[in-house]
Amino acid sequence: MPRLAANLTLLYNEVPFLERFALAARDGFTAVECQFPYAWDARDIRQCLDASGLQLVLHNLPAGDWAAGDRGIACHPDRVDEFREAVSLALDYARVLGAGQLNCLAGIAPAGPSDEELRHTLVENLRHAAARLGAEGLKLLVEPINTFDMPGFYLHGSAQTLALLDAVGAGNAWLQYDIYHMQRMEGELAATLHRHLPRIAHIQLADNPGRHEPGTGEINYAFLLRFLDRIGYQGWVGCEYLPLGATRDGLGWLQALRRPDRPGDLHP
């Protein structure tokens, strides 16, 4: 079974953020990820990681003002200075938290600039971020997002994102493949993962519809997670889903995957 990391932005949301680390460790996770750690002091998060024996494998670059509707600013021509400041802040946190890879959200395309200007801005911002991260041995990840949940999001397909990374031309820039988002936009999950495996550094999961735990929707995770083993995926899989109830009550899918006598069942 692939290595699974609990996304503590979405999982265990029945308790405050800093209390979620201990709960993830209690339930057998050895690693965690989060979307945006910046509302908390990095030293407090580090203390939670150490106390729980957990590794933080990923967090995002700051994405602008989320409450005001921002979903990333990397494609915004008028916010380049803000983006570069965000890269510096993300690196400050990564140094304390030990994250080896940071994810960049391109953002919703603003009205006004041409597509050529948006793409040029995004390429140059990603080159800057990749150089800053590469100097410290970190990977830069770029994630396409479905446009049903985030209308107007600039990057919304795996091939589109890989073409962008080709233009960036940085050896430490990788695709982050979110199974839920790409099921909604593309389908063909197994074939796409296999085809692009050499360029995927991180995977995230949730079922569809609803973005809930595996086994609640249409995606055959009993097959797909074992398929990742067969094709040799070595990275982490972030469990970035919205629990239907208390997180621990919905972990039957994980218990089933650990039972070799029930290989096709995600809900014992």
pLDDT at 156 over 80: yes
Q: Give the CATH number for residue 241.
A: 3.20.20.150
Residue 265: inside a domain: no
pLDDT in tens, 108-141: 999 999 999 999 999 999 999 999 999 999 999 9
Residue 107: inside a domain: yes
Specify the number of domains making up the chain.
1
pLDDT of residue 256: 85
User: Among 33, 116, 136, 240, which one carries the catalytic annotation?
Assistant: 240
The packing angle between helices 158-168 and 189-196, to 10°, is 10
How sure is the predictor about 268, in pLDDT bands with cuts at 50, 70 and 90?
Answer: very low
User: Among 33, 85, 117, 143, which one carries the catalytic annotation?
Assistant: 143
pLDDT of residue 255: 86
What is the domain range of residue 108? 3-257
The amino acid sitting at 171 is: G
pLDDT at 48 over 80: yes
Residue 187: inside a domain: yes
- Is 218 catalytic? The answer is no
- Contact indicator for 59, 96 with CB cutoff of 8 Å: no
- Number of other CB atoms surrounding residue 45 within 10 Å: 22
Average pLDDT estimate for 178-193: 98
Summary count for the chain: helices (H), strands (E): 9, 8
Burial of residue 63 (number of CB atoms within 10 Å: 0-12, 13-18, 19+): buried
- Contact indicator for 36, 71 with CB cutoff of 8 Å: no
Average pLDDT estimate for 170-193: 98
Q: What is the mean pLDDT of the chain?
A: 95
Nearest to 63 by CA among 128, 127, 107, 109: 107
The Cα–Cα gap between 112 and 118 comes to 10
**Both ends of the chain: CA-CA distance in Å?**
17
- Is 188 catalytic? The answer is no
pTM attached to this predicted model = 0.95
Residue 228: inside a domain: yes
Q: Tabulate helix, strand, coil % of the chain (nearest 5).
A: 45, 15, 45
Residue 267: inside a domain: no
- Contact indicator for 267, 252 with CB cutoff of 8 Å: yes
pLDDT at 262 over 70: no
Identify the H or E element spanning 202. strand 200-205
The Cα–Cα gap between 109 and 126 comes to 16
Residue 98: inside a domain: yes
